[in-house]
Structure 1
Amino acid sequence: MIRFADRAAFTAALSALPGPGEAAVTAARTRQAELTKPAGSLGRLEDIAVFMAGWQNTPRPRIDRVQAVVFAGNHGVAARGVSAFPVEVTEQMVANFRAGGAAINALCRSCSADLSVVPLDLERPTGDISEEAAMSEAECLAALNAGAAAVSPDTQLLFVGEMGIGNTTPASALCAAAFGGEAALWCGKGSGIDDEGVARKILAVEQALALHLPDCDDAFETLRRLGGREIAAMAGAILAARMMRIPVLLDGFIACASIAPIVARVPGFTAHCLAAHCSAEPGHVRLLGYFGLEPLLRLGMRLGEGSGAAAAVPIVRAALATHNEMATFAEAAVASGS
């Protein structure tokens, strides 16, 4: 199990990231060229198959085990009226996840993903980021390790989601800290707040940036000051996946925001990631641009929970089905053309 002993260990992990298996990538590309179809005719399905081959380090990748993890946390900044729902909903939704009644449960059943739910100190919200740091160093490290510990080494495709009332506010702050721009560029309606709620969110992010940005000198400190427990846990899980060469389907704005401080300092960090979808949250398309990722789906979703990633799993399955099950020109005795 991957565990970061301290802040230095987390930072060191970011400077020693493994890459894909290049021999497997080459072999997968060669197979794609030999399949009974015009070159490139399956578009991004071909790219996905090659991507999966590289990170699984095999020319014939599989996804018998898809793992989904939803992390839950509460935020002190929610008291500023930045969400359409009260903080009690976080714990209520965790109970709904465990009972199998949420959207992510249905979507995981539909795509045959194994779902687990990890609540993180729900009775103890983080600090209000507009007034203080979200977490102590020990709390941030514990959240990162909770995320890393949740990733099973036998996973062949991972996606993570979140539940946390008010968490689009720290997500917006993380993005602004990582990539710059006014708070208003990163703040959307989140759970469906009105214009006054958006104005409160923007003000909270502006105050948070004014307070913390001078001290956000690395990814850890940015997550600690501006993030949240479930946000740091997602970052820990995605980093652990990279360390184990497990490919990741990125969900929406908050899941992507969790790694924004990392990507800002390690631009190649998302090499093991596919963007599952582009959400209706306006900052998400901007964030994917900074990541250099093109989403597989654009469905206007803004639920979180990992729901957009779950919806994209069948696309990855389709890519591997065509890659592994199609005949080659030689096998089918079909002329390959020139």
Structure 2
Amino acid sequence: MIDIPLPDSDAREEALTRLDALVKPLGALGRLEELAAWLSAAHGMVPPRPLDDVRVVVFAGDHGVSGVSAYPREITAAMVRVFLAGKSGVNVLARQVGAKVRVLDIAVDDELADVPEEVRQYKIRRGSGSIDFTDALEPGEAERAFDAGRLVANAEIAAGADLLIPGDMGIGNTTVAAALVAAVLGVPAEEVVGTGTGVDEEGRARKVAVVERALARPRGSDPFAVLTALGSACAAATAGFLVQGAARGVPVLLDGVFSGAAALVAREIAPDAVHWWLAGHRSTEPSQAYALKALGLEPILDLGLRLGEGSGAVQAVTTLRAAQAIISDMGLLADLA
């Protein structure tokens, strides 16, 4: 049992009272006011602290179903090196908001002997099984990966993180995410499978068939059994990262479809963890919409993004900082001359 504290409801009420007293019409700043109150509850104080130290952790891994993607699985290993070089999409976007990016090899199908040891220190295995024919993971690997994700969250928080963002990199990620969402929510494969990296309708039909075969295979209902059968080591690590952020009382900003699927499974493990999560953006993948609806989360941004990596969530950091600024810096109606 993982102990998850609840955000401070008194701080939330105090924040709402202060927001109503600012120099503006009631509710005039819309979602920014909701986010300011949410941050106040998370921090247990009004105004909430600035979000100065934002940390993105990209969990990288390969999948046996990567043949359904528009790109070969070798891209995953190549992208790990791109992250390390600071040249990926999330690297570029994170620099705009001063966020730090870390990439970890959780299950890349490559030894990656040329990358620093700290990138490989949490590696669980080389690739995951093809979920339409076999389990993604061996017994116990989902739990090991989950615990690794918790350790990563602890390390980032110990280093000063004010806000955690899970990123993902892995050819086949959207197929795995669709399978997880379909399994947890009982949704047909046809409704949750999207175009991923940009496959055509024929390619999407192949993905639907893969997910249908995966869902037809026997599995347990326990969340770790679901991760073992249909997920991946990086999905389990992401789930652990999300849960531990909540356990430590640090806000987590979800990215797209993969972190949404991991969050859905993570809620099965630690139901109260959802109170510490926000959805950074709306993905174009349909399974994310199902996941976020089930989690009760409304995306902050809708920019039509489908890159992954944490790139969409990073774009929402500016909005969260704006929410913190209005409740911290705006004047009060009572102070008007």
Is TM more than 0.5 here?
yes
In structure 2, what residue type is equivalent to 1:132? T
Q: Give the aligned partner of residue 195 of structure 1.
A: 201
Q: Deviations over 1:260-298 (max 9, x none)?
A: 224367665422111111111122223222222221111
Measured after TM superposition, the shift of residue 150 of structure 1 is 1.7
User: Using the alignment, how far apart are the partners of 1:30 and 1:302 within structure 2?
Assistant: 37
Q: Give the aligned partner of residue 44 of structure 2.
A: 57
SS at match of 1:288: helix
CA contact (8 A) 1:136 1:224 kept: yes
Measured after TM superposition, the shift of residue 108 of structure 1 is 0.6
Q: Give the aligned partner of residue 6 of structure 1.
A: none
SS at match of 1:59: coil
CA contact (8 A) 1:76 1:125 kept: yes
Q: Give the aligned partner of residue 44 of structure 1.
A: 31
Q: Deviations over 1:292-334 (max 9, x none)?
A: 222111111111001110111100011111110112223x335
- Could you tell me which runs of 5 or more consecutive residues in structure 1 were left unpaired when the two chains were aligned: 1-11
- Residues 306-325 of structure 1 correspond to what in structure 2 (within 5 A)? 306-325=310-329
CA contact (8 A) 2:137 2:228 kept: yes
Q: Give the aligned partner of residue 273 of structure 1.
A: 277
Q: Give the aligned partner of residue 115 of structure 2.
A: none
Match 1:77 to one of 52, 58, 65: 65
Scaled by the length of structure 2, the TM-score of the pair is: 0.89
- State the Cα RMSD in Å: 1.6
Q: Deviations over 1:94-115 (max 9, x none)?
A: 1001101011001110111111
Q: Which moved more, 1:48-57 or 1:258-267?
A: 258-267
Match 1:97 to one of 79, 83, 89: 83
Q: Give the aligned partner of residue 117 of structure 2.
A: none
Query: Is 2:215 the partner of 1:209?
Result: yes
Query: Is 2:126 the partner of 1:138?
Result: no
Match 1:333 to one of 305, 325, 336: 336
Q: Give the aligned partner of residue 176 of structure 2.
A: 170
Work out the percentage of aligned pairs sharing the same amino acid. 41
- Could you tell me which runs of 5 or more consecutive residues in structure 2 were left unpaired when the two chains were aligned: 111-125
Aligned length: 316
User: Using the alignment, how far apart are the partners of 1:37 and 1:195 within structure 2?
Assistant: 49
CA contact (8 A) 1:56 1:156 kept: no
In structure 1, what residue type is equivalent to 2:201? D
User: Using the alignment, how far apart are the partners of 2:271 and 2:187 within structure 1?
Assistant: 18
User: Using the alignment, how far apart are the partners of 2:138 and 2:44 within structure 1?
Assistant: 38
Q: Deviations over 1:237-277 (max 9, x none)?
A: 11001101111111111110112224367665422111111
Query: Is 2:163 the partner of 1:160?
Result: no
Query: Is 2:88 the partner of 1:106?
Result: no
CA contact (8 A) 2:4 2:270 kept: no
SS at match of 1:137: coil
Query: Is 2:21 the partner of 1:34?
Result: yes
Measured after TM superposition, the shift of residue 169 of structure 1 is 1.1
User: Using the alignment, how far apart are the partners of 2:138 and 2:5 within structure 1?
Assistant: 29
Q: Give the aligned partner of residue 247 of structure 2.
A: 243
CA contact (8 A) 1:71 1:233 kept: yes
Match 1:68 to one of 43, 49, 56: 56
Q: Deviations over 1:169-205 (max 9, x none)?
A: 1111100001012111111110111222212211111
CA contact (8 A) 1:66 1:114 kept: yes
Q: Deviations over 1:62-81 (max 9, x none)?
A: 21111111110011122xx2
SS at match of 2:28: coil
User: Using the alignment, how far apart are the partners of 1:23 and 1:230 within structure 2?
Assistant: 36
CA contact (8 A) 1:276 1:297 kept: yes
User: Using the alignment, how far apart are the partners of 2:237 and 2:270 within structure 1?
Assistant: 18
SS at match of 2:68: coil
Q: Give the aligned partner of residue 119 of structure 2.
A: none
CA contact (8 A) 1:179 1:264 kept: no
User: Using the alignment, how far apart are the partners of 2:266 and 2:79 within structure 1?
Assistant: 29
In structure 2, what residue type is equivalent to 1:40? G
